[in-house]
Structures are given as structure tokens and as C-alpha cells.
Amino acid sequence: MSQLHTKTLSELAKGLKSREFSSVEVTGHFLNRIQKFNSELNAFITVTADSALHQAAAADALLANGKGGVLTGLPLAHKDIFCTDGVLTTCGSKMLSNFIAPYDATVVSLLQQAGIVTLGKTNMDEFAMGSSNETSYFGTVKNPWNLNKVPGGSSGGSAAAVAARIAPAATGTDTGGSIRQPAALSSLTGIKPTYGRVSRYGMIAFASSLDQAGVMCLSAEDAALLLQAMAGFDPKDSTSVNDPVPDYSATLNQPLKGLRIGLPIEFFNDGLTPENAKPVREALAEYEKLGAQLVDVSLPNISLSVPTYYVVAPAECSSNLSRFDGVRFGYRCDSPRDLMDLYKRSRGEGFGAEVKRRIMTGTYVLSAGYYDAYYLRAQKIRRLITNDFANAFKQVDVLMGPTSPTPAFDIGAKVDDPVTMYLNDIYTIGANLAGLPAMSIPCGFISELPVGLQIIGRHFSEAKLLNVAHVYQHSTDWHKRIPQRYA
């Protein structure tokens, strides 16, 4: 039983079906590991041990009768951005440090209906604003590969939990790279689906035209299982797309012969050191061996993706976060003098520094006289960037490159310099601006720190991305490496 945590979700699913072990045993094993390791990692904000064991017992009852689906009885952690009925939902903020969600996010209820056992809620950058999980009100999360390093962000708690095998999989959200960058820095498989593929209902909003839910797990095979349950139309999300969801597991093994892989030359220019490029280049060579063809492509406006994002995302965040006013829910300051004082001090005291910085950036770019110069211009450049991707996809099936310019950096190294921190997402933001699906998969190490390969696809090509990732994982074992301390 001691090795249950080294299994992938797919392997655990087989063991549950064959009754080799029970869901109560699996769930109990991960809860024990959370108890043992969470204090050093700070990956979980809330652990729902009692309800997890109840859900596991219910799953076992189903499985004993030969019922239940492929996910029945499998444990998972939710990023604390997803509302969970009756359970503390903080979004990593003091503002919501007392907020008990009154309903479930669609992602949460879909996974629950599929039989998933919820272990708890994972730590994250406050309101998903950050690339290092250092902006959380609940403290910094540590990288299981090196406890002095950041796990990436904003889904850093989910990343650390899965990398340390204290949860076999976790949900995440990705507005500018918040699934892919922590997946890369923590040696995980992470997928951000196409905008609109997974419901945003009950997922606390940051930037509504960019936010998308996804998963972080140990393999593309696992990601296919989870995404199958999460994807689909939701009338409660007005941007949810009503297109059929393909069978993601069915096409995982399709051969890659003839696959055309585009390498955006801008992703391999001076910004990427030869040392950091090496694992990515080796992965590309592996794809060539698998029969794929490498083609240089250009995304001429991609260098503008970070500045475009830092207009669009703060603008949308300043609007979304105006709902936190200290009146109906969330933090309220002590003894407000009047209503204005209540608003200002509840928000000033309830939000952390990075969130306030982004609200103010957004307020500024949307303020009278500045809208055309900033927001409208950024939305035009967003179209140019999107057109660049569309042109590239006329020549190739997928794009590949690095997920992050460097492996995990030291905790504290970039906290005082927001612009340097923002540039961590230089390779990931483009897919959010264009609404494209994208993954990060483990492809090697630099100085014992994991490196991720990013794969970007056409709209709604999740099945292709998972196929491309799975075939690589079938012939390599980077995704099977476990940090020694947690093996």
C-alpha cells in the first residue's frame, strides 16, 4: 500500500476497478501524506478529510456492485479558486478568508458526479495573479523539487501537491500561463483547454476573456480522463461553447508520422539561453524520431503579448474585482466611518499588494481619456497576435517551444520587481490572448530542476494535443520522475 502515491490516476483507476485496493484506502493514503508533508509545502489551504472519506466510502459501495465510472473513487484536489458548496473558498486572499461558498462550480459538480473524491483546496497566488505563488495571503508554496524554489503560479499549490504525490491530480486555472508554467516548474502534465471548452461558472473571475479551467496531473492519459468529465457546454457560463466533446482517450495512441510541428522562431531567440533551450531541443529531436516534421514558423507580433496582456487582464480584473465591496460577503474593515470609508478600507486591507497593483493598472487604462490609447489598442494588437497563430496553423498542426524561460527560481528573487515577474509568462500568454488550447509536459531537467515543453494547438484540438503528448510520454520517462524526498 505504501506505493499507491506513485501511481498515475489511470493506474489507480484500474486498481479500484479490479478491487486491488479500495477508494477509502487510496484516499486515506493521500490524506496521510497531506498530513505528513503539507506543513513543509504549504500546498493546501483547506483539507476536507472527513467528507473525502465519506465520498470514498460511497464510491467503494458503487464499485463493489460493479457500478461507477472510470473516475469513481479517485481523489483529486481543487484549486481554491473553484467554489465548493459549504467549504471555505478563499482564492488565496484575505478578502475571502472567511468565505464559505454557497454553491459548487460547474467543474466541481461535474467531477463530483463522475465519482471524484475531493481531498481539499489548494493554495494559489491571490486571485490567480502571480507566477510564483508568493502573493497568496496564506503564504508561499514550496517547490517539491527544491524547497527553496517557487513552484510556479498561480496554480502553485496544485502543482506542489501533485509533484509531491500528496494528491494524484488537481484542477487549475490558466489566464496567462497559470497551469502550464507551474506544471513546467514542477514536472507535471498540465493542459489549458480552448477558451469556452470548460465552464467558468463558479470559478472566481480574474480576467473573463482569458480565464480557462484545466488540470494538472502525471500524464496525458490522466489529463484525458479528467478533461473528459470537465469539458462541455454549460448554460450557466455565457461564453461556454456548445460543440460536441470528442473522446479524448480514444485517439491518444495515434501515430505521429507526418505530424507537422511548428517552431516559432521568436520562442527560440536571444531570450532563451542555450542551456535552457537544450531539454526542449532534445524533446523536439525525439518527436522527429517519432516521425514528426519540424518547421520554422514566425509569430511576428508575439513579443507584444506580455504588454497586451498587462492592459487587457488588469482592465478586466479591475472590473471583476469591483464586486468586493465589504457589504454582502468577504472582508469588512473595522468600524467604518461612512460608506466610502467602508469600501476603501475593506478593499485596501482585504487585497494584497499585487492584486491592488493590477486593479490600479486596470483602473488607469480604462479611465476617461485613456481607453483608446490603452485598452482599445491592446484589443487590436490582440487580434494581430491571434492572426499570427492562425497563419502559423495554416502550415503546421501544432506549435512547440519552451513553457517558461527558466526553471524554478529562488523564493523571493522576483517579488520586488513586478515587470520581471510578468516576463515569466512570455511564452504562455499568447495562447490565452488567442483562446487556444495549450499544454506543458515534462521534457528534462536543468541542474536538477524540471523543464517543460509547451504544445499549442488549434482551437478545440485538445484531443490532438493529448495524443501528441501521450506518444512522447510513451517513449520517454521524464513524466515519471518523482522528487526523491516524496518517492
Cβ(43)–Cβ(164) below 8 Å: yes
Q: Which residue among 10, 132, 178, 219 is the active-site one?
A: 178
* Rounded least distance, CB 217 to another protein, Å: 25
Beta carbons of 465 and 473 less than 8 angstroms apart? no
In whole angstroms, the minimum distance from the beta carbon of 322 to another protein comes to 8
* Nearest CB to another protein, comparing residues 69 and 300: 300
Which residue out of 10, 22, 23, 79 is catalytically annotated? 79
Please spell the DSSP secondary structure of 126-168, one letter per residue: GGG--SSS-S-TT-PPPBTTBTTB---SSSHHHHHHHHTTSSS
Question: Which of 196/279 has CB closer to another protein?
Answer: 196
Smallest gap, in angstroms, from Cβ of residue 309 to another protein? 10
Query: Is 178 in the active site?
Result: yes
In the complex with another protein, the residue whose CB is nearer, 61 or 373, is 373
d(CA 74, CA 332): 38
Report residue 397 as a C-alpha cell.
Answer: 498542426
Query: Which C-beta is closer to another protein: that of 372 or that of 477?
Result: 372
Catalytic residue among 10, 23, 154, 158: 154
For residue 14, give the nearest of 58, 77, 73 by alpha carbon: 73
461 is catalytic: no
What is the C-alpha separation between 2 and 362, in angstroms, rounded?
Answer: 50
The smaller minimum CB distance to another protein, of residues 69 and 418, is found at 418
Please name every residue paired with 143 in a beta bridge, in sequence order, or none if there are none.
146
CA distance 95 to 356: 12
Give which of 3, 17, 130, 5 is closest to 73, Cα–Cα.
17
Task: Answer for the pair 464, 397: CB distance below 8 angstroms, yes or no.
Answer: yes
Cβ 446 to another protein, closest distance in Å? 27
| Residues 196/202, Cβ–Cβ less than 8 Å | no
CA distance 425 to 192: 14
| Catalytic residue flag (residue 303) | no
Minimum Å distance from CB 329 to another protein?
A: 4
Cβ proximity to another protein, 261 vs 365, nearer residue:
365
Closest approach, Cβ 234 to another protein, in A, equals 11
Closest Cα to residue 329, out of 94, 137, 124, 98? 98
Active-site residue list: 79, 154, 178
